[in-house]
Amino acid sequence: MRGGFRTRYKEEEEESAFVSMTDMTVSFLFIIILLLAYFAQQYSEKDTVPRPIHEEVIKERNVAQQEIVRLQAIVAVHEKTIANLKEEINRKQVEIERLQAEIAKLQAEIKELREALEKLRKVDPLEAYLATSAIERRRILETLRDQLKIDFPDLEVVISEETDALRFQGDGLFATGSSTLRPDRRAIVETVATRLSQILPCYTIGPRSKWTAECNPGNAIIEALQIEGHTDSTGDFTANLALSTNRANSTFSTILGKSGELVDFLNFRHQPVLSVAGYGQMRPVKDNSTKEGRDTNRRVDLRIIMYTPSQSAEIDRIRQALSQDSSGGIAN
């Protein structure tokens, strides 16, 4: 009996303990529920957004997203443009490099041309002197021709193609086959003598020299004033040579008879510039097979030969010689 009581008592004790634990668990759960309800209330009051605001935010977000899409499209277009511009820049850079190379080449050519031009500008004094002498010779011949044309309008006188001689038609001064001047043409030769006396002082040295920088700025000096006789090819060669020489001598004698002082005009070697030569038929200027050619070849030439220096140093000596004789022995 005592054993049954103990058993029952033990069971009642265990049941009482279970009930207490249950109550405690329920109480604990209740407290948890209260806390959850409290926190839920706190969250709702602080973090819940009103619907109008929520919708406005959503709307702004959508607009922003659309703007992003639009701007991205613009960026893409600009990026493509930038890429195209970069390609264009690369092409232009290649073109610039090509043009710079071309410019460098042209600049080098320009430099070479300038150097060549500078060399050309530095004219050789000797060449310049010879060119000036040729110009002065032509001027002398033109002056003589023009003056004779004024005095004798029907006179056949021309300047040679080489611009070195005054050419008189042979039959104009002499009768056919004769070496004696025609009386009506003697005045022509005498006029030539007078004109030469006026011209030669500026281009020669000697006691009658009258050189000035105004009449002869290039310091040209005559080497020879040669009276030349020429014939056509008709007749005997030796006879033609004699005839041309006699005609030249006849002209020379008439010139000296009019102006004997012409023998005083000297060249740079102190020799008389006046001289005579007969060439017969050896120096034709036209074809002897025609009458016109033969008429032209029968002629008397008054040829002017200018002195040709062998070196530039002679140019100064020529000027000194011209100025010394023109000033009576005192160099300018």
**CATH at residue 267:** 3.30.1330.60
Q: Do 181 and 251 have their domain in common?
A: yes
Say if 78 falls within a structural domain.
yes
C-alpha 22/C-alpha 176 separation (Å) is 178
Residue with tokens 């054993």: 3
Q: Do 114 and 168 have their domain in common?
A: no
Low-confidence ranges of the chain (pLDDT < 70): 1-23, 39-49, 170-171, 326-332
Q: Do 129 and 96 have their domain in common?
A: no
Say if 89 falls within a structural domain.
yes
Q: Do 288 and 264 have their domain in common?
A: yes
Count of domains for the chain:
2
Say if 20 falls within a structural domain.
no
Q: Do 215 and 288 have their domain in common?
A: yes
Angle (CA) 61 64 66, round 5°: 110
Among 105, 122, 139, give the residue marking a domain's end. Answer: 122
Q: Do 156 and 173 have their domain in common?
A: yes
Among 100, 122, 144, give the residue marking a domain's end. Answer: 122
Among 177, 192, 187, 203, residue whose Cα is nearest residue 266: 203
Say if 22 falls within a structural domain.
no
Say if 266 falls within a structural domain.
yes
Joined tokens for residue 166: 């005054």
Domain span at residue 168?
125-326
Residue 19: partners with Cβ closer than 8 Å, 6 or more residues away: none
Residue type, 257: G
C-alpha 202/C-alpha 221 separation (Å) is 8
Quote the pLDDT of residue 273. 97
Among 122, 147, 165, give the residue marking a domain's end. Answer: 122
- pLDDT tens digits for range 116-137: 877 777 778 899 999 999 999 9
Quote the pLDDT of residue 14. 55
Q: Are 201 and 210 in contact (CB under 8 A)?
A: yes
Q: Do 179 and 85 have their domain in common?
A: no
Q: Are 300 and 247 in contact (CB under 8 A)?
A: yes
Q: Do 194 and 145 have their domain in common?
A: yes
Quote the pLDDT of residue 22. 67
Quote the pLDDT of residue 129. 94
Q: Do 88 and 210 have their domain in common?
A: no
Q: Do 108 and 252 have their domain in common?
A: no
Strands, E, within 47-197: which ranges?
A: 157-159, 165-169
Q: Do 185 and 229 have their domain in common?
A: yes
Among 216, 66, 78, 74, residue whose Cα is nearest residue 140: 216
Residue 312: partners with Cβ closer than 8 Å, 6 or more residues away: 124, 125, 126, 129
Phi-psi map region of 206: left, alpha, beta (phi>0 left; psi -120 to 50 alpha)? left
